[in-house]
Structure 1
Amino acid sequence: MNRLAALLLSMIMTLMLLAPAAGWVESEAAPAAPDAAKQFEALRQKGILDGVEDGSAGLHRQMTRAELSAVLVRLLKLKPRSSAPSYEDTGSHWAHEQGYIEAVTASKLMEGVASRQFDPDGKVTLEQLAATLVRALGLPAETDPQLTGKVSGWAAGFVATARNAKLLSEHPDYTQAATRDILTMALTAADARLAVPALSAGPAGD
């Protein structure tokens, strides 16, 4: 009986010694989740992103089209354009007054949602984000996109290119509004590609 107990004790001790090693290997192999907060801070240091009203990153908030126009100008170092508004709904908007909307319009990065309507306070959708970043990087839109999520016909090629370029992860519905954490990770990927000329055709012209 004593020999059996000693044998069981030896087996238990052996398993306890092996368990930490096995757990360490498994945790090392698991991919780390993207840290949007750290990426946001890096982009804030570069002057590309800024916080919301209370100074926080606001990563779970949605992004407006006016805010995206400002981000694109900073990302690509475009010159803000102070000119007569191209749209009927932007004349007194801060993004027009600071030259962001006209800059992205002239660079063909963003366009109106209807005739002479920019909808500056409208929410940016995932497919709109994909289209603007693909244009910003000078990448060609896929001509035969293979996607599983819901996407508008006009945006399918842009979304497929954004997915292949790792600007966006897979989503079930690309017509949904993009949150600032998704924008942060997409901008980080775009900024990295802009730093390597071979990965993009360069930013759109001013």
Structure 2
Amino acid sequence: MRKSRSLILGLALALSLPGTTALAAKTSADFKDLQDLDAATKAKIDALLSAGVFNGVSQDTFDLKSEMNRAQFAKVAALIFGLKVDSGLKMSSFSDVKPDDKGNGYALPYIEALKNAGIAEGYGGGRFDPAGKVTKEQLATFLVRGLGKDDDAKSAPGVDDQTVSDWAKGYVELALELKLLSNGADGKFGGGSNATRDLLVLGAYEAKEQYVPRGATPTPTPSPSLTPTPSASPSPSPTPSAAPPIVWPTPEPTSTATPTVQPTPTASSTPTATPTPTASPTPTPAPAITGLTVESGTVAGSVRLVYEAVSGNGLRFVHQPGPFVTPKVGSSAAEIGSEYETGADIRGVYEGEHIGVYEVNASTGAVVRFSDIALTAA
């Protein structure tokens, strides 16, 4: 059988069963150009790889120093800020964003999500310029807006840095203060220089750590109320009775007996009962999704899933080079991969990769069922 990188026809479906042992997801150790990084940076990259926010540019190359474009940023920002992404969207509000664009068409639903959230805007003439580079000051602006701090940036004094455009100085000030980005070795921000993937990785990690979903209100910790101590009721005073006359007897000398000292009995200690431990429930692996089929997508190098989730449930997906670990029933899927609408194309997948499909309760965000799809060419 001749293997092909393009999965157009003849896909075979392999569904994992609950309890199946699976390999770990891709980590920084799998990319040859990440081996010399410090442990802290590797940990951040691993967290983003595990969450499906980032992929390498090839099986063994991550390419931290390449300059990112606006399409790449759109996907990353939509994932880290939990934006609602319509995966089945085929039309863009921007004239230069097309689903059949081989290089950037995948980003169409992410670009629309960013526009709807007010994080990134287009240029004049209804253009977004998905292949255009993102400057450092633009990256700072997008990250600050994603954290919901647009008004704070507009009212900030701004950085005293001639390398930053006047309109961006407030956003750069907040980006530095929140440690989303940092100045260069010369102490300048370099706002007009193109941002590289390493800046997007580290900025995205910090933004994801600090992000609070819009509309979420922290639950206040109730202050304990003091229970007043009841006042003691006064005891009634006894009515005095007439005292009998005191008669002083004539004392007679008597010998005083020496008292015998009685030993003080020692109280026996009461043994403390040992509490019976309460057994913790054993987490149950999520059962496999049944009735799920895989078909070729509408364009080369894509697939689509056909499955009707139970009423009130939604679907999420992640694709990676190796198999998945079966999640537990009730575990949170809020930050796993992307929302999926049945029948929509999943692009950029290759023979030998796996797609993890999660059926999620829409009201609680908890995993209900799960399947691991292995992609092979017939």
Fold agreement, TM-score > 0.5: yes
Q: How does 1:48-197 map to 2 (within 5 A)?
A: 48-81=53-86, 82=89, 84-92=91-99, 93=101, 94-97=105-108, 99-139=109-149, 140-141=152-153, 142-171=155-184, 172=188, 173-194=190-211, 197=212
What SS does the corresponding residue of 1:174 show, helix, strand or coil? coil
CA contact (8 A) 2:77 2:204 kept: no
Q: CA deviation at 1:150?
A: 0.5
Deviation track 1:168-187 (CA, whole Å, cap 9, x = no partner) reads 10133111111111111111
Select 1:38's aligned residue among 43, 53, 70: 43
- Percent identity between matched residues is 33
Alpha carbons of 1:66 and 1:38: their partners in 2 closer, same or farther (altered >3 Å)?
same
Unaligned runs of 5+ in 1: 1-32
Q: Which runs of at least 4 in structure 1 moved beyond 3 Å after TM superposition?
A: 33-38, 202-205
Contact 2:72 2:107 in 1 (8 A): no
Moved more, 50-59 or 136-145: 50-59
List alignment gaps of at least 5 residues for structure 2.
1-37, 217-378
Is residue 74–residue 107 contact of structure 2 (8 Å, CA) maintained in 1?
Answer: no
SS in 2 for 1:59: coil
**1:40-69 per-position Cα deviation (integer Å, ceiling 9, x unaligned):** 222111111111134422111111100000
Shift of 1:166: 0.8
CA contact (8 A) 2:159 2:172 kept: no
Measured after TM superposition, the shift of residue 149 of structure 1 is: 5.0
Structure having the larger proportion of residues in strand: 2
Greater relative contact order (Cα < 8 A, sep 6+): 2
Aligned counterpart, 1:27 = none
TM-score normalised by structure 1 residue count: 0.72
Cα deviation, 1:181-204, whole Å, max 9, x if unaligned, reads 11111111111112xx4xxxx459
Distance 1:167 1:204, change over 3 A: farther
Aligned residues: 167
Contact 1:138 1:204 in 2 (8 A): no
Report the AA paired with residue 206 of structure 2. A
1:64-96 alpha-carbon deviations (Å, 9 max, x no partner)? 100000001111222213263111110234134
Contact 1:67-1:95 at 8 Å conserved across structures: no
Question: 3-state SS of the aligned residue for 2:47?
Answer: helix
C-alpha change, 1:168 and 1:96, in structure 2 (3 Å) is closer
Select between 115-124 and 142-151 the one with higher mean Cα deviation: 142-151
Q: 1:102 to 1:176 in 2, by over 3 A?
A: same
Shift of 1:160: 0.9
CA shift at 1:34, angstroms?
Answer: 7.8
- Structure 1 pair 96–167 and aligned structure 2 pair: CA distance change class (3 A): closer
Query: How far apart in 1 are the matches of 2:106 and 2:148?
Result: 24
Change (3 A) 1:34 1:133: farther
Rounded to whole Å, the distance in 2 between the matches of 1:123 and 1:34 is 29
Q: Distance in 2 between matches of 1:203 and 1:101?
A: 19
Contact preservation (8 Å) 1:76, 1:203:
no
CA RMSD of superposed structures (Å): 2.4
Q: Which has the higher helix share?
A: 1
